[in-house]
Amino acid sequence: MDGSELIKLTVAVLVSISVGVGAALVPMFVNAEVYIVALAANIDSRSLLAFLIVVHVAATTVGKAFVFQLARVGTRRLKVIEPKPPRSAVGRWWRRVRQRYSRTRFAGWMRRLSTRLVALLDHRYAGGLTVFSSSLLGLPPLAIVTILAGASRQPRWLFLTMVFTGRLIQFLALAFVLHGLPWFEDLRHRLEGLW
């Protein structure tokens, strides 16, 4: 491995760590799944791809541990805030769209499933199922589950194990399924010309 390859590897590891922690702390602005797709599109070596995904998942787990601990310590200071009505026409339109969607059968099914999974968080060890489901499938959203798990009686070791395992399975499956698709291979070859 020469000097330029070592620099590229170091930059790739640092970016994986940064995106992992960023996705854990501010998931509405840093999307981990988009990063994994971009990573799979730009890396030829499957072993390097797997290594960078493990680094990314470890960084995400560290970030989630931070949020979990903040929720655990901060539950005594929670305030309930009423949402303000939207001020703009776009805000009012978006509220109507959300209300219409919330009345569909699919939204009702998702709401019932999420409610059942969130109710499991009150159980000390059965809550791990909710965290695993959330980190693997995104149902209920992991950002919400992290805060609720921190506020519940769930052990930290169980939470972190389920987050790491679920995210690792999800990201490895996403990256390697994309690596095996012929159209994705064509996209990767087209992207090689850009760099």
Per residue in 20-42, pLDDT (tens digit) is: 999 999 888 888 989 998 888 88
Would you say residue 178 lies in a domain?
Answer: yes
Counted domains in the chain: 1
Q: Which of 24-38, 90-104, 129-143 has the lowest mean pLDDT?
A: 90-104
Would you say residue 80 lies in a domain?
Answer: no
**Average pLDDT, integer, range 41-67:** 91
Would you say residue 10 lies in a domain?
Answer: yes
For residue 63, name the pLDDT band (cuts at 50, 70, 90): very high
Question: Would you state the structure tokens that stand for residue 129, as one six-digit string?
Answer: 């199922």
Would you say residue 22 lies in a domain?
Answer: yes
Q: How far is CA 80 from CA 36, 77, 114, 139, in A?
A: 36, 10, 21, 24
Would you say residue 12 lies in a domain?
Answer: yes
Would you say residue 87 lies in a domain?
Answer: no
pTM of the model: 0.76
Which structural domain range is residue 179 located in?
Answer: 3-75+93-192
Please, is 89 exposed, middle or buried when counting C-beta atoms within 10 Å of its C-beta (0-12, 13-18, 19+)? exposed
CA distance 91 to 87: 7
Would you say residue 63 lies in a domain?
Answer: yes
Would you say residue 144 lies in a domain?
Answer: yes
Question: Would you state the structure tokens that stand for residue 91, as one six-digit string?
Answer: 């805000």
